[in-house]
């Protein structure tokens, strides 16, 4: 069986370091591993419109931002099809048929959607498109016969829902769709990176992000303002590591060689944590270290972005080509789905022949 990747992001803003550790960094590694036969990375504009229907300009403007972030992190158009969701109507058609296989109560149980509904204060006025977006995500994943979905923890319920649709579809209409597996970050801190305010998730919609394209000065300021342990007032006070955002970010980003370069008094992160817990280590020192680590990681990304920003038509051309390749694949899957569902009337010569004979007889 072919190994195929599908994943993506909503163009609701520039991408942030949560995206980077949760999915983007891994995608680039997987792309460069050469182990995958096909890779599709989707800019989910249709999904972004499910809770931004009144703000199409925001979605439109952010397509290029997401594409620039992708390519500056190392996604390579020679190896990866980067495409725009709304340009592939086959995905909507699949969604329409999958809707028959999912109940309203099943959708209501989706924990990620529940949290997002609360976060957006939808209360009783939830757009139907938003409520059903897990079904549309199942279409995105299955249209490409994806075996692997590299994503953050919040996507687990979506991949579960997709698996259920695949089982249901295959059991009703015959073996057609491929069951995907989510590929989560191996590091706990990367599953759901908190915001700089310490809130559970760094998210474009919450405004608590360090963006990949932030200037070095913005990054530094944001790190200096980061939430730590509110009870760690004097340097001599013992500090807490749990829920301390600066340490969570170090868990996500720092490697032993960073200590050699920027903080040689400590051999590794465990030693730094132990000192903080004992007392005698100030927040500013830890934040400065995090700043050095993050600047080192982001510098090459920023430099590549600067170059790409000089040739926007090229970036759109990459998306156009990626979209054409993705459309071809989705159309093929849709044809198989329609054949399995027996709604391929005009292609089904057997049907026409059998019915002609019935009436002749």
- Residues forming contacts to ligand ATP in the complex (CB under 6 A) are 9-10, 12, 18-19, 22-23, 151-152, 154-155, 192-193, 201-205
Please list the residues that pair with 182 across neighbouring strands.
149
DSSP label at residue 234: S
The smaller minimum CB distance to ligand ATP, of residues 200 and 233, is found at 200
Helix (H, G, I), strand (E, B) or coil at 92: helix
Closer to ligand ATP by Cβ: residue 204 or 273: 204
271 backbone dihedrals φ, ψ, rounded to 5°: -65, -40
How near is the Cβ of 285 to ligand ATP at its closest, in Å? Answer: 25
Residue nearest to ligand ATP (CB): 22
Question: Which CB sits closer to ligand ATP, 151 or 308?
Answer: 151
Q: Which is nearer to ligand ATP, 204 or 258 (CB)?
A: 204
Rounded least distance, CB 86 to ligand ATP, Å: 15
Q: Tell me whether residue 87 is exposed, middle or buried, using C-beta atoms within 10 angstroms of its C-beta: 0 to 12, 13 to 18, 19 or more.
A: middle
Minimum separation from the CB atom of position 155 to ligand ATP (A): 5
Q: Under DSSP, is residue 15 helix (H, G, I), strand (E, B) or coil?
A: coil
Beta strands in 104-171 (DSSP E): 148-150
- For ligand ATP, give the closer residue by CB, 176 or 244: 244
- Of 204 and 220, the one with the shorter C-beta distance to ligand ATP is 204
Distance CA 29, CA 254 (A): 17
Contact partners, residue 154, CB within 8 Å, separation at least 6: 112, 192, 201
Q: Residues 262, 215, 297, 14: is their CA dihedral positive or negative?
A: positive
Q: How far is the CB of 286 from ligand ATP (least distance, A)?
A: 21
Burial zone of 325 (CB within 10 Å; 0-12 exposed, 13-18 middle, 19+ buried) = middle
CA distance 264 to 253: 17
Q: Compute, in degrees rounded to 10, the torsion defined by CA atoms 201, 204, 205, 209.
A: 60
Residue 85 or 176: the one with the smaller Cβ distance to ligand ATP is: 85
Looking at the Cβ atoms of 186 and 310, the one nearer to ligand ATP is 186
Nearer to ligand ATP, 66 or 334 (CB): 66
The token duo for 215 is: 């200037």
Residue 181's nearest CA partner among 146, 144, 157 is 146
Are 42 and 326 within 8 A, CB to CB?
yes
Quote the tokens at residue 14. Answer: 């520039």
Residues 6+ apart with CB under 8 A from 38: 2, 4, 5, 81, 144, 329
């Amino acid at each position: 069986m072919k190994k195929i990747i599908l994943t993506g992001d909503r163009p609701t803003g520039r991408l942030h370091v949560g995206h980077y550790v949760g999915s983007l960094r891994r995608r680039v590694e997987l792309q460069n591993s050469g182990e995958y036969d096909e890779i599709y990375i989707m800019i989910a504009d249709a999904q972004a419109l499910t809770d931004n229907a009144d703000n199409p300009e925001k979605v439109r403007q952010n397509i290029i931002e997401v594409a620039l972030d992708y390519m500056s992190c190392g996604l390579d158009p020679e190896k990866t099809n980067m495409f725009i969701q709304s340009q592939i109507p086959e995905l909507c058609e699949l969604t329409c048929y999958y809707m028959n296989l999912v109940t309203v109560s099943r959708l209501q149980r989706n924990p990620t959607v529940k949290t997002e509904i609360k976060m957006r204060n939808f209360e009783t006025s939830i757009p139907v498109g938003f409520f059903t977006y897990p079904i549309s995500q199942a279409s995105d994943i299955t249209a490409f016969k994806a075996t692997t979905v590299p994503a953050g923890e919040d996507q687990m319920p979506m991949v579960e829902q997709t698996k259920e649709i695949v089982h249901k579809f295959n059991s009703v209409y015959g073996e057609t769709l491929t069951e995907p597996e989510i590929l989560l970050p191996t590091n706990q801190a990367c599953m759901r990176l908190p915001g700089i305010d310490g809130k559970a998730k760094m998210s474009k919609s919450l405004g608590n992000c360090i963006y990949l394209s932030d200037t070095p000065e913005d990054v530094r300021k944001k790190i200096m303002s980061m939430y730590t342990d509110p009870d760690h007032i004097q340097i001599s006070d013992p500090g807490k590591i749990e829920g301390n955002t600066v340490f969570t970010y170090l868990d996500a980003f720092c490697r032993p060689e960073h200590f050699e370069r920027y903080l040689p008094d400590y051999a590794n992160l465990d030693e730094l944590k132990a000192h903080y817990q004992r007392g005698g280590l100030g927040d500013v020192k830890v934040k400065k270290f995090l700043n050095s680590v993050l600047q080192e990681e982001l510098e090459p990304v920023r430099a590549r972005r600067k170059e790409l920003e000089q040739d926007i038509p090229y970036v759109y051309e990459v998306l156009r080509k990626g979209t054409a390749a993705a459309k071809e694949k989705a159309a093929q899957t849709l044809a198989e789905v329609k054949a399995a569902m027996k709604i391929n009337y005009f292609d089904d010569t057997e049907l026409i022949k059998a019915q002609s004979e019935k009436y002749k007889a």
